Structure 1
Amino acid sequence: MRRYLTMLFALLALSACDEMNQQPRYDSYEESPLFRDGKSLQSAPPGTVSRNARADAEALLNRPPMTSALLERGRERFEIYCRPCHDASGYGNGTVPARGFPKPPSFHSARLRLAGPAYFVSVITDGHGVMYSYADRVAPADRWAIAAYILALQRSQSATLDALTAAERQKLAKGGS
């Protein structure tokens, strides 16, 4: 008898699940009678704070230490977000300006060579000139990584052979990377 009751309960439970598949819903830009403005997509109420706001603010304030992992992450993020406009070397000759968009400044200009990493983090966060903010695309920790990579790019363009060890010079002479 217990077995039959268990099977009956299981069948009732399965039949109830079908109603979950047929729930009414609205697409983002569909009209909806639920709200006064008739839109189903509503903006957040005034004063709403993201649950990540505190962690993001702390990540922006705390510059991470320079490590090879940070530079590698910065290179990866730079390739994704910055290279289309700034090109691989940071001179501003990317594919986007080649198609008519205004050319961004070179990271190797005197003004930007004097700028610290906090400046680049600020520009990524808030935008500057025709560059819009990337705050919604690039995490705060990644902004510091990109800034570190930009500093490495700047230094790489003015490095002299004297700064290399004998082994590195030999490797360079052989065409190795």
Structure 2
Amino acid sequence: MRAGLLLALLALAACKQEMTQQRRYDTYEPAPLWADGASARPLPMGVVARGDLAREAAAAEPPEVTPALLARGQERFGIYCAPCHGPAGDGDGMIPRRGFPHPPSYHTARLRAAPAGYIFGVITRGYGVMYGYAARVEPADRWAIIAYIRALQLSRGVELASIPDARERLP
């Protein structure tokens, strides 16, 4: 009986306790509780954000180039890259036409010779006036975009004679 009464009193005392009424530290408020006096606590050594290991593994190795990967790369290129780099990768997209700096063409000798990892790094971290897309484009999609860029580069330098049955397919 006594325990039930005590439990009821505790339950009534806890009514209407809201998150805004709890004791807490505001951002950057001094905290005498800690030896360094800061309320913001540093992360423990070795902490890895959830999902980072999988993202890192996806970024480490390019996938096999398949028609599905190229189709995904074309779609993602059209969304993220074509506004500045243009649909063919010449650096003449709608953004530079409106007065922003022109990005380099993907068809220059320097970018044709650049390793895929370099392009992956540029997409991830940005370069020059281009900001990084690490938070916007997943690693798998970055590799798909690179595969599509390589297809664009190859399509520019191909000779008609090297494509089997090309003359029959052209009107």
Which bin holds the TM-score, normalised by the shorter protein?
0.7 to 0.9
Q: Compared with structure 1, are the counterparts of its residues 54 and 96 closer, same or farther at alpha carbon in structure 2 (3 Å cutoff)? A: same
1:171 — aligned with what?
169
Aligned AA for 1:158? G
**1:67 lines up with 2:66 in the alignment:** yes
Q: Distance in 2 between matches of 1:103 and 1:81?
A: 15
1:152 — aligned with what?
151
Q: Distance in 1 between matches of 2:141 and 2:41?
A: 26
| Superposed displacement of residue 24, structure 1 | 6.7
| Superposed displacement of residue 64, structure 1 | 0.5
Within 5 Å, give how 1:12-51 maps onto structure 2. 34-37=24-27, 46=43, 49-51=48-50
2:93 — aligned with what?
94
1:90-143 Cα shifts (integer Å, max 9, x gaps): 000001111111100000011001012211111111111111110000000111
Q: Distance in 1 between matches of 2:138 and 2:97?
A: 28
Q: Distance in 1 between matches of 2:119 and 2:130?
A: 12
SS at match of 1:82: helix
2:126 — aligned with what?
127
SS at match of 1:81: helix
SS at match of 2:50: coil
Tell me the TM-score normalised to structure 1 length.
Answer: 0.72
Q: Compared with structure 1, are the counterparts of its residues 112 and 152 closer, same or farther at alpha carbon in structure 2 (3 Å cutoff)? A: same
Report the number of matched residues. Answer: 141
- Please list every run of 5 or more consecutive structure 1 residues that lacks an aligned counterpart in the other structure: 1-22, 26-32
Q: Distance in 1 between matches of 2:28 and 2:19?
A: 16
Q: Distance in 1 between matches of 2:147 and 2:118?
A: 11
- C-alpha RMSD of the superposition: 2.4
Q: Distance in 1 between matches of 2:117 and 2:93?
A: 23
Q: Distance in 2 between matches of 1:126 and 1:96?
A: 20
| Superposed displacement of residue 170, structure 1 | 1.6
SS at match of 2:102: coil
- Please list every run of 5 or more consecutive structure 2 residues that lacks an aligned counterpart in the other structure: 1-17, 30-39
| Superposed displacement of residue 164, structure 1 | 1.2
Q: Distance in 2 between matches of 1:49 and 1:145?
A: 26
- Quick one: percent identity of the two aligned structures? 49
Aligned AA for 2:92? N
